[in-house]
Structure 1
Amino acid sequence: MKINSIKNCILLSIGLALTSCTGDFEELNTDPYGVSNESLEQDFNDIGSFFPGMIRMLVNTTDFKYQISQNLTSDSWAGYLAPPTPFAGGSNNTTYNMVWKDNTWTTTYEEIMAPSRQIIELAQEKEQPQFEAWAKLIRIYGLQKVASFHGPVIYTSYGESNTTSYYDSEETLYNAFFEDLDAINATLSEFEDFEGFKNFDIAYNGNVRQWLKLSNSLRLMLATRLSNVAPQLAKEQAEKAANNSYGLIASNADNFTVELGSANHPLNTIGFSWNDTRMSATMESFLVGFEDPRIEKMFTPVTGENPQNLINDHPKFPYKGIKNGAVLIAKEKRVPYSKPGEYFTTNPDYTILNYASVNFMLAEAKLRGWNVSAMDVKDLYKEGVIASFDQWGAGDVDNYLVNDTNTPIDYNDPEARSAEENAFDAQTDITVKWNETASNERKLERIITQKWIAGFPNSFEAWVDFRRTGYPAIEPVYKNDSNAGDGLVEEGEYIKRMRFVPDEYAENPEGVSDAETKLGGPDKINIPLWWDVEGSNF
């Protein structure tokens, strides 16, 4: 917009000059700032300038938006983090009372879908198919996150109507994702040596081959998500992803990590500046129980006047978490509990998908008998753990991998008003060491538990895994404030989804009504998504 303003001022000056003379018209009609349409097109700025903002919005880097859309939703429901703050009188999304509507929907449509549509139209006009493909890949990544919250979303009909926008059923949506990824890969492969992305690429520095690896890894992730509801489709797509010539994310150097620019990591602001998030009790149960060396990288030790009083049950591991869905009275009581790690105060980047997670996806796929790797399940599992230790800079992975005695621990809340309040018994006796004689269900639990740890803090996919597999063994919320309006979650059960957003009810009522039909139930938080299937995983 600055460029347009400059040009308008220049054109006004030219117009005034033309009333007296025309001899130096060509000189006057040249932008003295060097910003011409030709130079914009030559450097691809006319298309590429949209991309940094879109890519960053895959994280939702605005602190308060991140807090509402992720930290107080999936971070809690996936058992990663919990607030010490009794927001809204202690009854809020973390206790299943939907105080904050989903900001992920709004941000994705306004800051990813809308600009990507502009890019696609401009790229088609300028005959730059590589930018069209890149934009489509980013919007699939963004929209699948929205779908993981809500279920049906607006995708194939996006932008077609100013009145009613119809949602895709989840079955239609995932098939459309896979079809579009085919076209994206075909286009990007033709431009594998193209260097024009570099000035706009805050993830892979313009390396098209890396984006192709991400595209394949995204396909694998989406395929894995469908393993119980559409096993044949899942198998076909997982094998297509794993056997593509460009491969998958294959090392930590390939991790999909977004530079945040001048912004702080959101967990720095929320955890340190605002003191509004802390380690979850579930993380404490698993990481302390496993004596996991990554704990000191992911979280900080307890603080306060008497920190030892918070960790009497495990004094050698000075970390304390807050129960998800806890009874909270006063914020200051739990501010001394463990914050997110110091890493988040010094690193202006955010890893969205890592090599460890890809290994665990492959391990699950291989366990299901899919042709995705020459490695066996055990070795893929081990490689995932090793990759995570390497990413976090943690040591002693060899001893960790052979530990067959340590299990998650029970939890108590030192600041609770009674011994029972917020407390829970460990929900599983899973260990770290691979057991080849275990059942497939038990093997899957071990894979998903380690994938859950390795994926921190990307809670979107961790919450997906929990809903579709039941792993890791996250305990129910202590305080269940669900209601008939949003949907009653039975005691001992878990939230299944977010409702469609209020703006859609106001501006697209026919579309929402149709979406409820495609959801297969009323627009409530207790309605499972398409891929969230009851019963065994095998």
Structure 2
Amino acid sequence: MKRNSKIIILLSVIIISVTGCIKDSLNIDPTRSNEENFDPNYLLTTAQMDYGNATEFQLYEMGGMVQIIASTLDYYSGGDKYSISLTSYNDRFFTNGLQGAARLLEAQKLAEKKDAVNNVNLIQIARIMWVMTMQRVTDIYGDIPYAEAGMAKYGIQYPKYDKQEDIYKDMLTRLEDAINKLDATKPGPAGDIIYNGNITQWKKLGYSLMLRIAMRLVKVDAALAKTYAEKAAGKTFTDINDNAILPLDGGSNEATQNRISNALLNDLPQVRWASTFINYLKENDDPRLYTLTEKADTGLANNNQIGKGGLQYTKQANPPAGSVNEVPVGMPNGYTIGGVRDIATAPGYPGVTGTGANASPLGNYARPRLAVFVTKRSLSKYLITYAQTELLIAEAKLRGWNMGAETAAQHYKNGLTASLQSMQQLDGMLAISIPDITAYVATRPLDISTNEKALNMINTEYWASTLFDLPEVWANYRRSGYPALVPVNFPGNITGATIPRRLTYPLGENANNRDNYQSALQRMGGSDLTTTRIWWDK
């Protein structure tokens, strides 16, 4: 099954070059791609890849905002220090997201035209993926082109921006309709690289997505959130085998390699786990502290040599070769090497490794394990997980909603357990033993003495569990307010030393779709700012 998925992935890289032919309906040459001979499965595959293997710019911008990673590199400064560079890469999620949505729309149209009955599952899965894609875009920007997005082929060159409130209401009804129309008696789409056409799994994913969308609304429309959360109750993921995972390929084609790994391949010398993230793991004696981290070997030369494996942290008093008996130290956000906020001046700075010209200023900070997150570019990516879903159910139960018989504490336990268990699904090197998981979870029952304490535990664990789906980490942080991150106050920052609440629109929108762009800005106060809160972020 996995082998077949990888073959489909490799096929998908041709789609970008041929979809333009569809737009023009080139029917003169029958050997060229057109609506009659083009397989919409290819568009589904490409769109799934677009969504799951989202741009590496999430690492540069959102990784630092949510304090999962920290970096002294200039092009990470937008997220790490809220610098003006935050507006330099702001187009990627907008453009890539809307392009992915357009492919999904075209997949639906082609599938309907060819055989709407037998292609029913391709059509509905494309609709579910369309909702996933558009949710990410609106969560990042606020009001966006939605109802008219991807309609250039049908004469809409300048799509209007819809209100986020309207978008969210439509996503819920559209998603419910798509789930209800999935038909297990009909074939699954050949282009599905997530579940290989398993319709039962897609129904579970649909309801897990419904819960995620509903929970975004708890501050602005609690009644609607409750209605749809309760509709999803009992129909979501039931264990880690339901996790929606995008398989990737470690071959020579960059289109099918893990984009985060590709970025870290060049950036790891100046990228570290953030102190906020490491301190959370450390304070709770979390076993992930030792599976996710490593220390660069001594000195600047070893630190900068990507092919040079690091030292594994261990609690053993007499560590074996290749290990070090130290507790991982995270790097604080908001520092540079030299300059106005030199990392050497950071509180608790652990010092350099190496000496003289070979001194490494970041050498004592914990970095992502090179053999997992960097050199293994086939590392799969989570889209939606059982752990995330159980944590959201725990919050819904805490709010008194009808989510089934289990308590909020039990759903929290399920989510925490699943988060640790599912690490091995990404890579065997991240595996944590069942006895260690059981022992750890027993020490971390949900504190329900106050709602605030319980919400903090639930959503801080969501933050830690979601890891490198950084748009989702950022969205749930803004929605919930947890964890209680302390903003960076780097000189010259553009947010008034506050964590950004949205990305600004691409500059080209003002030139190419000015009237609709300006209308959207007026609804958000008249200015395109990273500090403006989107509709559900109250």
How far apart, CA to CA, are the structure 1 residues paired with 2:501 and 2:62? 11
Q: Is the 8 A contact 1:193 1:208 kept in 2?
A: no
2:413 touches 2:445 (CA, 8 Å); kept in 1?
no
Contact 1:279 1:339 in 2 (8 A): yes
**1:58 corresponds to 2:96:** no
Which deviations, in whole Å up to 9, do the C-alpha atoms of 1:134-185 show, x marking residues without a partner?
Answer: 2121121111111111111111122265443211111100001011112211
Superposition pairs for residues 357-368 of structure 1, below 5 Å?
Answer: 357-368=388-399
Change (3 A) 1:284 1:464: same
Counterpart for residue 11 of structure 2: none
> Do the aligned partners of residues 293 and 123 (structure 1) sit closer, same or farther apart at CA in structure 2, a change above 3 Å counting?
same
Q: List alignment gaps of at least 5 residues for structure 2.
A: 1-16, 22-27, 304-309, 314-323, 344-359, 424-430
Structure 1 residue identity aligned to 2:336: V
Distance in 1 (CA, whole Å) between partners of 2:367 and 2:96 is 27
User: Is the contact between residue 217 and residue 358 of structure 1 (CA under 8 Å) also seen in structure 2?
Assistant: yes
With over 3 angstroms needed to count, the CA separation of the structure-2 counterparts of 1:481 and 1:208, relative to structure 1, is: farther
Aligned to 1:427: none
Give the partner amino acid of 1:192. A
User: Superposed, which structure 2 residues align to 1:91-490 within 5 Å?
Assistant: 91-99=77-85, 100-102=88-90, 103-110=92-99, 112-128=100-116, 129-158=120-149, 159=151, 162-188=156-182, 191-197=183-189, 199-243=190-234, 247-261=235-249, 262=251, 263-275=256-268, 277-305=271-299, 317-329=326-338, 333-334=361-362, 337-341=365-369, 342-344=371-373, 345-346=375-376, 347-392=378-423, 393-395=431-433, 396-403=436-443, 432-436=444-448, 438-479=449-490, 481-483=492-494, 489-490=495-496
Deviation by residue 1:289-336 (Cα, 9 ceiling, x = unmatched):
22210122323234324999xx9xxx9554232222323438963266
Partner AA of 1:434 in structure 2:
L
Give the 3 Å change call, closer, same or farther, for CA 355–480 of structure 1 in structure 2.
farther
Identity score, percent? 25
Q: 8 Å contact 1:297–1:343 — kept in the other structure?
A: no
3-state SS of paired residue (1:73):
helix
Q: SS of the counterpart of 1:278?
A: strand
Give distance in 2, aligned partners of 1:242 and 1:186. Answer: 15
- Residue 324 of structure 1 contacts residue 478 of structure 1 at CA under 8 Å; is this kept in 2? no
Could you tell me how far apart the structure 2 residues matched to 1:2 and 1:478 are? 47
Cα 1:476/1:4, change in 2 over 3 Å: closer
Correspondence 1:79 to 2:79: no
Larger Rg, first or second structure (1 or 2): 1
* In 2: Cα distance, 1:127 partner to 1:248 partner: 30
Cα deviations across residues 184-212 of structure 1 (Å, max 9, x unaligned)? 11221xx2233341x31111111112111
Aligned equivalents of 1:349, 1:394: Cα separation in 2: 18
Alignment-mate amino acid for residue 203 of structure 1: I
Aligned pair count reads 455
Q: RMSD over aligned Cα, in angstroms?
A: 3.3
Q: Please give the TM-score of this superposition, normalised by the length of structure 1.
A: 0.77
d(CA) in 2 for partners of 1:163, 1:388: 44
Q: Which amino acid aligns with 1:343?
A: V
- Cα distance in 1 for partners of 2:34, 2:447 equals 63
CA offsets, 1:465-498, max 9 Å, x none? 2212211122211415333xxxxx233x321111
Unaligned runs of at least 5 residues, structure 1:
6-10, 13-28, 404-431, 484-488, 534-538
Matched-pair contact (CA < 8 Å) for 1:252–1:391: yes
Q: 1:255 to 1:91 in 2, by over 3 A?
A: closer
* 1:86-134 superposed Cα distances (whole Å, 9 cap, x missing partner): 33xx853431123223211111122x12212221221232242432222
Which of 508, 520, 532 aligns to 2:513? It is 508
Amino acid at match of 2:248: L
Contact 2:214 2:224 in 1 (8 A): yes
The answer (yes or no) to whether the contact 1:323–1:478 under 8 Å persists in 2 is: no
- TM-score, normalised to structure 2, is 0.77
